[in-house]
A and B are shown apart, each in its own frame.
Chain A
Amino acid sequence: MATPAAQVLKTTLAAEPGTRVGGALVSVENALLAIVFTAAVMLPLLEIALRGLFDTGIEGVSTLVRHLTLAVGMLGAAVAAREQRLLTLAVTPLLAGKHAGLARLVSSSIAAAISILLAVAALEFVAIEREAGNTLVHTLPVWVAQIPLPLGFGLIALRLVWHAADSRGAQIAAAILTLAAFLLLQHLLTSPQPATGPVLMVIGVSLLLGAPIFAVIGGAALFLLAGSGVPPAAFAVNHYGLVINPSLPAIPMFTLAGYLLAESQAPKRLIVLFHALFGRLRGGAALVTVLACTFFTSFTGASGVTILALGGLAMPLLLGSGYQQRPALGLVTAAGLPGVLLIPALPLILYAIVARVSLEEMFLGGLLPAALMLTIVAAWGVARQQRREPEEDRPEFDWSHVRTAFDSAKWELSLPVVAVLALASGLATPVEAAAVTAFYAFVITTLIHRDLGIIRDLPRVVAECGLMIGGILLILGVALSLTNYLVDAQIPDALIAWVTQTIEHRWTFLLALNILLLAAGCIMDIYTAIVVLVPLLVPLGHAFGISPVHMGIIFLANLELGYLTPPVGMNLFFA
């Protein structure tokens, strides 16, 4: 009898991102990214060990790890540009049609020109810091640790020009256009009247033509700051400010844990276990899907990765127990939703960082809403079952099955326990807890289960994770300049005055906020939305008596919902 569980066991992993081999440079770049990333994970572990065993430690370890994270971010962003996976707007209305090629060439050239501007600003900053002569740790000069900034922006600019067109001739045209745009913008930027208005319009158009978001935010911030007399090098000071945040390295580390799990056989083991537990119940397949997806999303933070890892396993399970194609697809897509509110989900940590809330507070604040959402999504899933399968078709509840499945999945299941214990016990800082989690995921997937080969798979998975993190940290970095401009121009204060005048009631504000966030979730990814909107909306929420933690829950839930909703429904593309 072909029970769903048997089908699951037969199904192989759907997620296998193609490894591209494109010359020595690509391998060197990937290897470098993997090495820096690994070093960032290993240093905190070494520190914990030294502290525990010998009451000693590594000099300036947290400073070092934060700078390594910056390097991971810039290198990852350069790789993302190489693979044409820099984040863009989800809707690029002007890109369609027969002029698509032209739109791509123009938007890429403008983005490349801005990227060169940013590289030049960063280079200027590094030169100034070099002259100042501060040391980071021991004898390592600070300026050396800042080199990834100009290097990263430079590499991104080159890749943007390269990918601006397919033919050699058009690429040369893009290079010329980029150079001309750079010279013009550089001239404007250093002149007393930087023509901020017209430049912002051009940048806005390039966004609609499909330019990467980082270039749009970075270019806008550069010219807005220049308009109020702030020199371009200040942009790099802001971006470098990423390293000040103590929680920043937690982002790549927790995400790496999720990527390792997603690439291993962990999804299968979890599905088998949940199926052994709940398969007997009516709508059990839905419950299994929701639990497994939530578990995974809390690690990967991205529903897309969850869907890639679990979609291929959950779909046959759902179809086999009386679900139609569309509701099943919808369920797989929405099933990870509650996981976004659970630590260590990347959106949750990113929100905590941008809103300056402690990770622990965000974690506790997210528990109850996550449980509520889990109940709603599961109930909705159970209700969507079209044809009720007769009871005898459902698998018998069998303790020995449960025991076997549990035995096989116990390591994965203990991962969140390890993460939370490390955080709450006082044995580790948040970053150390993240490093422990990543290392534990490494041990599970490569040493215990041997799903991943250390040589065969690890560099690829680490580089893939670095690419994704790089795209997000790049936007976070450039957005710091935008925030710096907003603070400089005292815009949050003005916004609070205007909104509190227009909207009187807290409930009206909450309604407006929900609509705004749903809309934002429709046109941009959740990370960009957090980075751009949080600095504006958290002070507003404060004015209406809404705490940053409460605000965070509203934020994440709405953005994720908007993310799932048509017209764009980015998550749906993955399914």
Chain B
Amino acid sequence: KIASIAPSGSLYHRVLQEIGEAYRNSQGPRARAIVYANSLQGTEADTVRRMRVGQLDGSMLSIVGLSQIDPSVAALQFMPMMFRSWDEVDHVREQLRPELEAKLAAKGFVVLMWGEAGWVQFFTKEPITRPEEFKRTRIWAWDGHPAQVNIMKTMGFRPVALPIADILPALETGLIDTVPVAPLWSLVGQFDRVTRYMLPINWVPIVGATVFTKRRFDALAPHVQEAVMTTARAGAEKLRAHRAVQDEESIRAMRTRGLTVQTMTPEIEQAWREVASQAWPRLRGTMVPTDTFDKVRASLEAYRARTD
């Protein structure tokens, strides 16, 4: 039994179904594999709890869910403008992977595959671009992360912590007027009906992993483990090939509904980089464990020195 908050029929759902199929084929004809898409088994945190009590065997999680298992994964998603491209994300993740997977394993979870789901962009009601302008708006913040809200406040922003389900009504009543989300979310949640402008800022990448409980994974025969892992690796490749296209497709779909994508000038980008880098020291030791934070910085610097 594997769960996901991804829409049923989406690529994420299909990848999980293929993993289930691989399990069934290698385990034997009487084996059953059920994939619950569309948040049928609840939010990401819910599925983590269901795995812990033994109701589910696996779940496809973003860092939001993974950080419920171990906080060090936060290094991959919660640091604004730390990464400048997917290549950088890939590089750092590969560097950190053995350590992160060991930490997750210590908590009883096996990583089947890592995957990404697009970059977070800023969706606003007014055509604003500069950090000072954003400080005057009410920005949606994830309800499950008090620490993130605190950091935004110390940076001079006005975050309003709400559950995802409340975003659209809150936009309509004016409780919030800026939403930092990945384009797919804005498209599916129809936030762009109210927020007609998008600033292409690549704030943070949405990173995630599909995990399996160690208890169940260890109980599988070696050849079944092998089959599941092989299929998962192939699935990860499919997601990787899709991640950039998906952002483009979502944005294109919203543009036909009337979304205006604003131009990001180098000057504006520089202003945002300064704001973002001010947040990093505050994240270090709070949302991101100190050692993981330092490793990410070192790994990025080494990578940039090599590629520049």
Contact = CB atoms under 8 A, between A and B. Distances in A.
Given A57-B149, A62-B143, A246-B162, A237 B50 contact: yes
B46 A137 contact: no
Interface string B35-62: 0100011110110011011110000000
Contact of A244 (B46, B68, B146): B46
Given A57-B149, A360-B169, A429 B162 contact: yes
A570 to B, nearest CB: 33
26 contacts: A55-B158, A57-B153, A59-B147, A60-B149, A62-B162, A63-B143, A63-B146, A128-B52, A128-B53, A129-B52, A132-B68, A132-B107, A233-B55, A236-B53, A237-B53, A241-B46, A244-B42, A246-B162, A358-B169, A359-B169, A425-B173, A425-B174, A429-B166, A429-B170, A430-B166, A487-B36
Interface string B66-105: 0011000000000000000000000000000000000000
Contacts of A60: 146, 149, 161
A240 interface: yes
Contacts of B169: 358-360
A430 B163 CA distance: 12
B172 interface: yes
B162 A59 contact: no
B50 A244 contact: no
B165 interface: yes
A487 B163 CA distance: 23
B281 interface: no
Contacts of B170: 426, 429
B175 interface: yes
A563 interface: no
B149 A63 contact: no
B107 A428 contact: no
A428 B153 CA distance: 18
A129 B49 contact: yes
A240 B69 CA distance: 18
Nearest to A422: B173
Interface in A340-398: 356, 358-360
Interface of A: 51, 55-57, 59-63, 124-125, 128-129, 132, 134, 137-138, 230-231, 233-234, 236-237, 240-241, 244, 246, 356, 358-360, 423-430, 484, 487
A56 B153 contact: yes
Nearest to B170: A429
B95 to A, nearest CB: 26
Given A234-B54, A241-B42, 15 more contacts: A60-B146, A61-B161, A63-B144, A129-B52, A132-B69, A233-B53, A233-B55, A234-B53, A234-B55, A236-B53, A246-B162, A360-B172, A428-B175, A429-B162, A430-B166
B146 A59 contact: yes
Those 6 A-B pairs whose CB atoms lie nearest each other, nearest first: A426-B174, A60-B146, A233-B53, A234-B55, A426-B173, A59-B146
Interface of B: 36, 40-43, 45-46, 49-50, 52-55, 68-69, 107, 143-144, 146-147, 149-150, 153, 158, 160-163, 165-166, 168-170, 172-175
Nearest to A431: B166
B52 A246 contact: no
A177 to B, nearest CB: 30
Contacts of A428: 175
Given A59-B150, A125-B53, A230-B55, A237 B162 contact: no
Nearest to A47: B161
Contacts of B49: 125, 129, 237, 240
Nearest to B153: A56
Contact of B50 (A134, A234, A427, A429): A234
A237 B153 contact: no
Contact of B146 (A56, A137, A358, A424): A137
Contacts of B150: 59
A132 B146 contact: no
B172 A62 contact: no
A137 B160 CA distance: 16
Contacts of A356: 165
Contact of A55 (B153, B161, B166): B153
Contacts of B41: 484, 487
A202 B54 CA distance: 28
Contacts of B40: 487
Contacts of A138: 146
A429 B174 CA distance: 10
Contacts of A425: 173-174
Given A56-B153, A132-B107, A62 B55 contact: no
Contacts of A424: 173
Nearest to A423: B173
Contacts of A429: 162, 166, 170, 175
Contacts of B42: 241, 244
A423 B173 CA distance: 8
Q: Which of A56, A244, A359 has the most CB of B within 10 A?
A: A244
A363 B217 CA distance: 48
Contacts of A360: 169, 172-173
Contacts of A244: 42-43, 45-46, 163
A124 B146 CA distance: 27
Contacts of A231: 53-55
Contacts of A61: 161
Contacts of A125: 49, 53
B150 to A, nearest CB: 6
Contacts of A134: 68
Q: Which of B147, B165, B170, B173 has the most CB of A within 10 A?
A: B173
Q: Which of A59, A124, A233, A426 has the most CB of B within 10 A?
A: A426
Contacts of B69: 132
Contacts of B172: 360
Given A55-B153, A62-B161, A426 B50 contact: no
A60 B149 CA distance: 8
B38 to A, nearest CB: 10
Contacts of B168: 358
A246 B149 contact: no
A132 to B, nearest CB: 6
A492 to B, nearest CB: 11
A230 B165 CA distance: 28
A493 to B, nearest CB: 11
Q: Which of A59, A125, A424, A429 has the most CB of B within 10 A?
A: A429
Contacts of A246: 143, 162-163, 165-166
Nearest to B50: A237
A364 to B, nearest CB: 11
B232 to A, nearest CB: 24
B183 to A, nearest CB: 23
Nearest to B176: A426
Contacts of B55: 230-231, 233-234, 237
A57 B157 CA distance: 12
Contacts of B173: 360, 423-426
Contacts of B163: 62, 244, 246
B178 to A, nearest CB: 13
Contacts of A487: 36, 40-41
A129 to B, nearest CB: 7
A128 B51 CA distance: 11
A137 B149 CA distance: 12
A132 B143 contact: no
A161 B228 CA distance: 51
A173 B69 CA distance: 47
Nearest to B34: A488
